[in-house]
Structure formats: C-alpha cells, structure tokens
Amino acid sequence: MRQCRVERQYLLEMLLSAALTVGAVGLSAWLMQSMTPDDPMRLPAALLPVVPILLMAGAIVRVFLRSDEYRKRRMLEGLALGAAIASVGGLIYGLLESVGLPRLPMAWAWVVIGGTFGCYVYAIDRFTRCRTS
Amino acid sequence: MQNQLKALRTERGWSQATLADRLDVSRQTVNAIETGRYDPSLPLAFAIAKLFGLPIETIFSDAPQT
C-alpha cells in the first residue's frame, strides 16, 4: 500500500541517517579531542555531523512530498500545533525564568515542536487505523 | 460535505485499502473522506468520480454531513 511504502522508505532513510549522525558525532568528538584549540581543522571537525543531519532533514522533506494530500495536511497541522505550543510555552517559561526558574536552551523548542508533531500524527494514524470496514 | 463513497465502495466489494490503491492515496485518506472528516481536493474528487464512472455531483453534495 502506498502509505506503508512511503513510511517504510522514510523509516529506512531516517534510521540510516540517524546512525550516521551518531557515528559522525562520535568521530567529531574524537577528532576534536586530539586537536589543539587553535587547530584550523577544528571547525570542519565540529561541523562533521552536519552532513548526516542534512540527510535526516532530507528524509523528512521526502516523506512529506511523497505523502498524499490528507497526510500532508495532517503533518502541517501537527507542525502548526507544535509551533504554537512551543511559542506560547516559550513565552510563559521566559516570564517564569525572571522569577528564578533555570534557564533552558533554545533547543527545547525543537523538542516540543517535534514531540507535538509526532504525537499528533501518531494519534491521527491510530484514530483512522481502527475503522477498516 | 456529504459523499456516497462508502456506499459505492461496498457496492463493488472493495475494501478501503483496495480503493486507496486504485486512487493512489493512503487508506487513512479514504477513511477520512468516508467519515466526513476530510473533504478531498478537486483533483482527487475528479479521480474518484472517474474511478466509479459517475458525475462528481452524484458522489459529493454540499449538504452537511449527518
């Protein structure tokens, strides 16, 4: 079936690029450990994981482009919901930081967006999977 | 929007998966259209009409889903 094919391909691409990212992060850390702080190769070594990260981004773009109109719409809704939660949550947490809560890195916004997106798309899939008649 | 997709599909003895394959969409899309949670785009509506050999207005009507 079309969507199964699309999802299998996505899973394969994502797993491969995630494995490459883990390997590249490890290699980058190992290379940087053996370099002096003023080594000119330090910057390329630090950016080594960017290549597999771009492959991961490519897998996400491809699964979106290969999906049909309904799935595309649900994905966009998931992204919009994630962005809304991250921006409102970020604003509220920013106010709470002023009264002493610990500072959080901006990367948390991506975790919230990605988490919300994943949960939303999964919930929609679960909801439609049960009705096969 | 109301549609006769489920009736037309069951008339032919097709499953949602079969119809999805014939339309080159996901089964979730067929399910969402049948249950009225999603109104298809014009190209998909025309593809559905062509597949069943019926005018588009026979399958889809603007009456609210009951």
CB atoms < 10 A from the CB of A67, how many?
A: 22
Within 8 A of B45 by CB-CB distance, chain A residues are none
Torsion of CA A15, A19, A25, A31, to 10 degrees: -150
Q: What percent of chain A has pLDDT over 70?
A: 94
Instruction: Give the pLDDT confidence score for residue B66 in this predicted structure.
Output: 56
- Percent residues over pLDDT 90 in chain B: 79
* Predicted local distance difference test score (pLDDT) of residue A133: 39
pLDDT confidence bin for A121, thresholds 50/70/90: confident
**In this complex, do A131 and B15 lie within 8 Å of one another by their Cβ atoms?**
no
pLDDT of residue A131: 44
Chain A window 46-85: which residues touch B at a Cβ cutoff of 8 Å? 67-71, 73
B-chain residue closest to A131, CA distance? B31
pTM: 0.76
Do B29 and A69 lie within an 8 Å CB cutoff? yes
- Structure-token pair, residue B7: 């009736």
Q: For position A69, what pLDDT does the model report?
A: 93
Residue A129 has pLDDT above 90, yes or no: no
- Residue A1: the pLDDT is 66
Residue in A71, A131, A133 closest to B26 by CB: A71
Q: What pLDDT does residue A128 have?
A: 66
Q: Give the up-direction half-sphere exposure of residue A109: CA atoms within 13 A in the CB hemisphere.
A: 15
